[in-house]
Structure 1
């Protein structure tokens, strides 16, 4: 009996290890499979893009695929998406909810609840996962994901958006259904999805008509939509798609004009008199064949009875052609509602104008941050206990980091409770803050070992020779000393 029980325990441990291994290592394709799971992107031309934009609500999948396609082929569009997606720092701290100055709080219970909330947020590795969500939202408008979590590991698996659709709102967070017909031709992938997918796929087989679309458990599903004003899935910068093609068109046109402007034609005259060539055609042809191989490809060569001329196809206005390319790029940034000064336009040098433009762009990022925070806070509400905390993302970007840090440090000097927020502004999470205090102050005694460099700011009045006014004058006979040094003058 004991052996049987021991074997069962070992099997349970093995099963748990296998589940954890699948979570810790997320396969992009099943091991040993020869099937190609790489995404094949549909190509879109300008005419098709314009056709799709005329019916964006009815052609959401094509519009999303077009956005992904243009992200891969257009450096301008890729830079635009990355500018917004990677602008936010996603620095965070926790604040207690429904706790007031006159509240009777048990310190032990409070710290236990705080520790659970901090560990939950730290486990989620928010700086990485939030940027992944932001990249998808700015590219496709909505992120569909599914959470996998163990005691010390966390991962959000992005689900194929073509097989997801929003159906409801729960506590201000979208919930969505998944099309389980997705696995009909991909059953080998089921082992790399959660148990919920396996169970609901089996349910789908019992009624493929009514059970094809099934809502995923909101406890594990993640749905963040950038544009929350409509359920239509429209990439936020879809309006720039035609301008992307205009940039390519103007560049190609400029290149074509440049090549034509560099082309020349040389005409070799054959003497002609009284209706006959003065040089026999075989001889003229022989000379032509000797010269032709020596002519560069960009120069044409011909024979005729007329005088020899050099014909240039160069067209004036090459500067205008270059300006047309620049103008098309400016039109792209204008359509995106983003100042190209931020992304390297040398014509705009006003720092105040750039700062205001960045703040306008950051407002969009802050809105996304608040949506993600609301989803995380929904999870924090579900933690056990009567004391709860909420996560707050600082409205901080890579462009205003120092400004936010200075504001919080100044507020802390006036006794505002912003010390945790100030630490977060430096990238120190709530999970690391307390541990760093213990390490530096209790273990390493850095507050005793690190002696500030002497300066007027670190010296007290007793350390100086004079408490106020100018230093005391040296009574040494400087003039006499100089005379003694220069006695050679008297010699």
Structure 2
């Protein structure tokens, strides 16, 4: 079920940096179990497919029943201390080399040289997102400072500066004032003088610029143009080129990995004809679909693949076989949908009698429907529904 699993493989690998799966197959179908990255390490690259090993010492007994049979056997062998030094399936007596049912995906091409550990190409986004959160917190602080107002209630004093109002009465006045103040207004009651000190503008004046710079850095690390999500732009072509760039990244990084894995699986299928089958993903994007289809269509004029063209317009292999065969052989749709005369379909050649009538000859001898089984454009410049058309073989 490629339509379901391939996007999942892609999403998980982008988030985790590296993903490890084991194929589980029975008579009802195929499923995949994803293993935690902390259990596994990439071991080697085989025909474009990453293989991995599992640290069996990290497996717990309570997880035993959920593990595939292969890992259950490895778990038993590890705890029975029956691993020999020359066992090719084990490394360092605790790392089990998973069979061909296990495979890994990663976009970090240095994973093998880094001991099998890989990180996401977008890991730097985490640091930038933290900086962006800090910048947004500064905005909240600035907004609070801009709206705070202080009301000072001064107590009367004598010539020596001592309060002439007892503290209990002063406290009652202060409580009454505080109970009636709106949010954002602070009351202060003291015998000392207090100058008016507005807090507006006391925060970071460039705090909004800091947030904008943080957003731009975030987009930069993602490899995405900020214009794609409503940033400042004066040209829609910037967005279009950014989408093409992202699509090309998928074509050159994701598709080769998926094709290598699925082609390995196809190589395990034995056919009667012994002809190997290969899978290829069409390089097209929903954002540039019209242009992509036009490219495959133009290639047909120079001997390009009709299969690629049909795939680009949405046909799957089973649809191509069943639907097109039914149309051409069962319905004989070419004889039903007769090509209408246009500058591209009419012919300059015509055969006429002395009476001015066009004589139509049916190469297949079918009087009732002379067009049945024929393809191509009409032989005459004035075709009718029963006019012969030029045969491809001719």
TM-score (normalizing by structure 2): 0.73
Do structure 1's residue 429 and structure 2's residue 316 form an aligned pair? yes
Q: In structure 1, what is the equivalent of residue 376 of structure 2?
A: none
| Residues 139 and 207 in structure 2, CA contact (< 8 A), matched pair in contact too | yes
Q: In structure 2, what is the equivalent of residue 138 of structure 1?
A: 14
1:337 to 205, 208, 223: 223
The offset of 1:445, in angstroms, is 7.8
After superposition, what is the alpha-carbon deviation per residue over 1:51-78, rounded to whole angstroms, capped at 9, x for unaligned? xxxxxxxxxxxxxxxxxxxxxxxxxxxx
Relative to structure 1, is the Cα distance of residues 204 and 450 closer, same or farther in structure 2, using a 3 angstrom cutoff? farther
Q: Does 1:128 align with 2:4?
A: yes
**2:137 is matched with which residue?**
252
Q: Unpaired segments of 5 or more residues in structure 2?
A: 84-91, 347-380, 384-394
- The Cα of 1:369 is off from its aligned counterpart by 0.6
Structure 2 matches for 1:66-105, cutoff 5 A? none
1:360 equivalent to 2:245? Answer: yes
Describe the superposition over 1:273-305 as per-residue Cα deviations: whole angstroms up to 9, x where unpaired.
534656665554443332220112311112244
Distance 1:362 1:273 in 2: 80
The C-alpha deviation readout for 1:118-170, integer Å capped at 9, x for no partner, is: xxxxxxx1122111111122222322111123455222221222111222232
SS in 2 for 1:324: helix
- In 1: Cα distance, 2:202 partner to 2:331 partner: 73
Other-structure match for 2:61:
185
- Are the structure 2 counterparts of residues 419 and 150 from structure 1 closer, same or farther at C-alpha, using a change threshold of 3 Å? farther
Equivalent residues in 2 for 1:317-328 (5 A)? Answer: 320-328=206-214
In the TM superposition, what are the counterparts of 1:8-157 in structure 2 within 5 Å? Answer: 125-151=1-27, 153-157=29-33
Q: 1:441 to 1:148 in 2, by over 3 A?
A: farther
Contact kept in structure 2, 1:169 and 1:175, CA below 8 Å: yes
Question: How much does 1:458 deviate?
Answer: 11
Is 1:348 paired with 2:233?
Answer: yes
CA separation in 2, counterparts of 1:279 and 1:204? 84
Name the structure 1 match of 2:268.
382
The 8 Å contact of residues 285 and 292 in structure 2, kept in 1 or not, is answered as: no
Over 3 Å counting, the alpha-carbon distance change for 1:168 and 1:458 in structure 2 is closer
User: Any idea what SS the aligned residue of 1:420 has?
Assistant: helix
Q: What is the alpha-carbon distance in structure 2 between the residues aligned to residue 152 and residue 392 of structure 1?
A: 26
Residues 160 and 247 (structure 1), Cα distance of their counterparts in 2 relative to 1, 3 Å cut? same
1:226 corresponds to which residue? Answer: 107
SS of the equivalent of 1:391 reads coil
Work out the CA distance in 1 between the residues paired with 2:156 and 2:334: 100
In the alignment, structure 1 residue 314 sits paired with structure 2 residue 195: no
Structure 1 unpaired stretches of 5+: 1-124, 464-491
Q: Does the CA-based 8 Å contact 2:141-2:203 persist in structure 1?
A: no
Count of residue pairs the alignment pairs up = 333
Alpha-carbon separation, structure 1, partners of 2:35 and 2:44: 18
1:228–1:274 CA distance, 2 compared to 1 (3 A): closer
Q: For structure 1, which segment, 372-381 or 306-315, has the greater mean C-alpha deviation from structure 2 after superposition?
A: 306-315
Aligned match of 1:289: 175
Report the equivalent of 1:202.
76
* 1:248-276 deviation line (CA, Å, top 9, x unaligned): 00000111111121111001234445346
Residue range with higher mean Cα deviation, 440-449 or 270-279: 440-449
Structure 1 residue matching 2:9: 3-state secondary structure = helix
Decide which of 282, 290, 305 is 1:418's aligned counterpart. Answer: 305
> Does the Cα contact within 8 Å between 1:140 and 1:236 map onto a contact in 2?
no
Distance in 2 between residues matched to 1:334 and 1:170, nearest whole Å: 33
Contact 1:267 1:309 in 2 (8 A): no
Aligned to 2:87: none
Residue of structure 1 equivalent to 2:48: 172
Q: CA RMSD in A?
A: 3.4
Q: Using structure 1 for the length normalisation, give the TM-score.
A: 0.60
As a proportion of its length, which structure holds more helix?
1
Q: Alpha-carbon deviation of 1:185?
A: 3.1
Relative distance call for 1:310 and 1:195 in structure 2 (3 A) is same
Aligned counterparts of 2:281 and 2:311: Cα–Cα separation in 1: 9
